[in-house]
Structure 1
Amino acid sequence: MFAAQLKRFPDASAIDGFGACDSIVEMARRVIASGPEKMALLGHSMGARVALEVVRLAPERVKKLALISTGTHTVREGEAEKRHALLALGRTEGMAALVDRWLPPMVAPARRADQQLIAPLHLMATQAGIDTYAAQITALLGRPEVESLLPNIACPTLVAVGAEDEWSPPEQHRSIAARIPGAHLKIIAKAGHMLPAEAPDALNEAIADWLDMPVGSNTMMGDDE
C-alpha cells in the first residue's frame, strides 16, 4: 500500500504486522512499542483510527499526524451486518471471492479495470487471509469513541482523501479537519479510498508539505481541494 511513499521518503518505515490483533487499542500499543520515540505518524483507513488511538494513549510520542481516507464516527446502523456478510463470503467461497466483492468500490470508478492498480491491491488483500480480516472486523466494530479527541490534537495534522472515495467520502474528512485545530484538508482528484496507491504523487506532495511544518505548530494555511 505504501510502496510509493516509502520510496519517496526513505527515512520512513511502515509499522504493520498487526496480524491477530482484534482491537484498535492493542494495535495502537504495538505502534507505541515499535515506533520511534517521536513520530510523524501517518495512518490510512483503519490505520488512521489506530494513529488516533496512539495520540490518545501517548500524545507526547506524536509530533505530527496524518489521517488518510478514514472516519471518526462510531459504528453505524447496518455496518456490522455488511462487514459480517463479507466475512461469511470469505469463509464459504474463499478470500479471493471476498476481495473480488470488496475491492472495486474502494478505488475510483475509472480505475476499477486498471489491472496495474488492482492486481497488487488484490494480491495484498488476499494474502492477508481470512483470519486477519476477521480480526480487523472485530477491531473495527469494537472501535473506541474518538471524536471527542479531535479538538485536543495539538500537532501539525494533515487530513487527506480522494475526491471519489465512496467508502470514506470527502465530506466526512471536511468534518474531521474542521474539528482539529489548524488541520490542513487535502482532497485529491480522481482517487478513491486506496489513495496512497491511486494518486501517489499527489499524496506524496501533501505529505512533504506536512513534514515541512515546524514541530510545535499546528497551523497550516487553508484547505486544498
Structure 2
Amino acid sequence: MDTKSSYRGSKAAPLIILPGLMCDSRMFAELLSAFPEAQVIDGFYAGCDRIEAMANYVLARMPARVSLLGHSMGARIALEVMRKAPDRVERLALVDTGVHGPKPGERDARYALRDLGREQGMAALVANWLPPMMGFAGLRNEPLMDSLYAMAVSAGLATFEAQIEALLNRPSVDALLPTIACPTVAMVGRQDQWSPVVQHEAIVAAIPGAQLRIVEGAGHMMPAEAPQVFNQLVGEWLAIAPTP
C-alpha cells in the first residue's frame, strides 16, 4: 500500500497525533513524511501536570473532527479526549500504552528517575530511561538512539516532572472503554517491555470491535523503531469506514 496516496484518497478525518512522555514530533518523523497532512500536537502539553488538562490543551488545538492517534501517555490523553468530546473523534489508535491504574512500585520508580534528573541532570535521566524503552534492533541503531535521546533531553526536567505527575494521577478509564464506538485499533511492538502485548489485549477486549496489531522486532518506541510497518498499519486504520 502507498500510504501517501491511500491517505489522500481516503475520506478519513484529519490525522492528529498525541506524543508520549518527553516526546514530540521527532518521534513521528517517518509518519509525517508518509502522511504530510498529519499534525502532531507539539509543545509537551505546555507543562500540564494532569491528563485532563492535557486533553483540554489538545481539544483547543485540533480540528472539529479528527482521526486521533496517541502513543504511550498520548494514548491516555486520547482516551480523555474521547471522554470529553466523543463526537469529535472519528477513529482512535492507541499505540504502546495501557489502560490500568498506577502499578505497585510505579510511583517510586518514576520518582527515582526524577531525583536522578534533579541530582545529575536530564542527560543522566534520559540515559537511564531510554534504553529499556527500545527493542533489540533499536538499541543497536545509533542514529535513532541519538535522535530520541536529544528529543527527550530537550523536554527538560520540569516537563518530565509535570508529565509523571499526570501519569501517577491518571483517571480511570474502566467505565469509558466499553462506550467507545468508533473504529479503534491498539498497536504495540512485540518487544515493548513497558507496555507489553498483554496490555493491548486487555484494551481490545474492553473496547467493542477494537482490533489488535503487533509489530515484530520493536519496543515501546515502535513508531520510530519500525516506521515502515507502523505507517502501513496507520494507513490501514485510516482506510476503515467510519462509524455511521
TM-score strictly above 0.5 = yes
The structural deviation recorded for 1:111 is 2.5
The whole-number CA distance in structure 2 between the counterparts of 1:19 and 1:126 is: 16
User: What percent of counterpart residues are identical?
Assistant: 53
Does 109-118 or 132-141 show the bigger shift? 109-118
1:144-199, Cα deviation, whole Å (9 max, x unpaired): 00122111100001100000000000011011111111111000000000011000
1:117 alignment partner, one of 123, 144, 149: 144
Name the structure 1 match of 2:67: 40
Report the equivalent of 2:36. Answer: 10
Please give the secondary structure, in 2, of the residue aligned with 1:186.
strand
Deviation at 1:92, TM superposition (A): 0.3
Match of 2:10 in 1: none
In the aligned structure 1, how far is the partner of 2:208 from the partner of 2:120? 46
Aligned length: 217
Deviation of 1:76 (Å): 1.1
Match of 1:87 in 2: 114
Other-structure match for 2:215 = 188
Q: What is the Cα deviation at residue 208 of structure 1? A: 0.4
- 8 Å contact kept, 2:122–2:156: yes
Q: SS of the residue aligned with 2:60? A: helix
C-alpha displacement of 1:116: 1.6
Asked if the contact 2:97–2:195 (Cα under 8 Å) also holds between the matched residues in 1, the reply is yes
Which amino acid counterpart does residue 4 of structure 1 have in structure 2?
E
TM-score of the superposed pair, with normalisation by structure 1: 0.95
User: Corresponding residue for 2:24?
Assistant: none
Partner of 1:62: 89
RMSD of aligned C-alpha atoms?
Answer: 0.9
CA deviation digits over 1:23-65, x for unaligned, max 9? 1000001111110000100000000000000000000000000
> Counterpart amino acid of 2:137?
A
SS at match of 2:42: coil
Task: Tell me which residue corresponds to 2:175.
Answer: 148
Q: Runs of 4+ in structure 1 displaced over 3 angstroms? A: none
C-alpha deviations, 1:97-156, integer Å up to 9, x for none? 000000000001233132121000000000100000000011000100012211110000
For structure 1, list consecutive stretches of 5 or more residues without a partner in the other structure: 218-225
Classify the secondary structure of the residue corresponding to 1:89: helix
1:108 aligns with 2:132: no
Shift of 1:19: 2.8
- Provide the TM-score with structure 2 as the length reference: 0.87
> Residue 90 of structure 2 contacts residue 183 of structure 2 at CA under 8 Å; is this kept in 1?
yes
Structure-1 separation of matches of 2:51 and 2:125: 23
Any stretches of 5+ residues in structure 2 without a counterpart?
Answer: 1-26
Distance 2:213 2:143 in 1: 25
SS of alignment partner, residue 35 of structure 1: coil
